[in-house]
Amino acid sequence: MHKRVLVTGAHGYIGSHVARLAHESGYIVDGLDICSSDNNVRPYCDNLFYADIVNMGAYPGQDIEYDAVIHCAGLISVNESMDNPSRYYEVNTSGTLSIINKIKHKHFIFASTGGAFDPISPYAKSKILAETIIKDVCKDYTIFRFFNVAGNNGEFRQICTPSHIMHMAALAATGERDKMTIFGNDYDTKDGTCVRDYVHVVDLASAIIASIDNPANTEYECVGSGSGYSNLEVTNTMKQASEIDFTVEFGERRAGDPGKLIVETMSKYVNIQHTLYEMCKSAFQMEATDKEKELSA
């Protein structure tokens, strides 16, 4: 009998990639999200349910028992969390407890953040609180701390307001932005810009799928590449991948941004298959394809 999993935030960037890969790996997949998006996961989901994780109420899927709940739903903008911290605690912390209490499951898999290692922002702090709840309440769990997630599988995309550097660089390369702004060039790093660990979203989704039948029950599992790239290096790699020399300028630091975040101990579930260049190339190709569609419409 095939095992059944629920992916929350199924129409989102990570959730859509996870839903497709889980389906392709032989699991019966249900999806839960607050609304639909351009990421059409219906071909990969047995059921799609729509509910607000903070105020779920009754919905048709709440009586199903899942072998695993893969909780990807949440708010993700560091900058936005500085302006509206209460909303981040409400969705990322209270919403996680709501999912735990409302949905029957054997294994709870949580999408956390590498920012939890240097919790400057309410976003990172809201994820840490959710991690604590999971460890206190759930019998079997796996907590993934994702570092910067990038790239795509050629079908799904980032649908949020652009805030990640690779997404913004891809938009600059296609001309959707007139320039690329790097926030801060006075950090204590090799070129003064922030250093981050990047992981291709397909490699991340593969790590999640590998954990479904094998709960970690550890403090956390880190998902990255183990390599640190500065914002300037990412921008220059996007120029190489796109073959476009777009304009780059430096701006003020963003509140809540630590100078350096790199995976030190990689999760046993991780098997890196994609390079930074491949992440940039796929991000650029997605934006370029969208622009071509707009121009031909």
Of the candidates 271, 131, 133, the residue with the CA atom closest to the CA atom of residue 211: 271
Angle at 192 between CA 196 and CA 120, to 5 degrees: 55
Host H or E run for residue 47:
strand 47-50
Catalytic residue among 13, 89, 123, 269: 123
Torsions phi, psi for 129 (to 5 deg):
-65, -40
Residue 97, helix vs strand vs coil:
helix
Active site residue 123: yes
Contact 23, 45 (CB under 8 A): yes
Q: Could you give the angle at which helices 231-242 and 276-296 cross, rounded to 10 degrees? A: 60
Structure-derived torsion over alpha carbons of residues 269, 271, 274, 275, reported in degrees to the nearest 10: 100
> Which residues, including other chains, have CB under 8 Å from residue 250's CB and lie 6 or more apart?
181, 182, 183, 184, 185, 193
Contact 181, 168 (CB under 8 A): yes
Torsions phi, psi for 16 (to 5 deg):
-65, -40
Q: Say how far apart CA 198 and CA 89 lie, in whole Å.
A: 26
Q: Say how far apart CA 214 and CA 55 lie, in whole Å.
A: 30
**Known catalytic residues?**
123
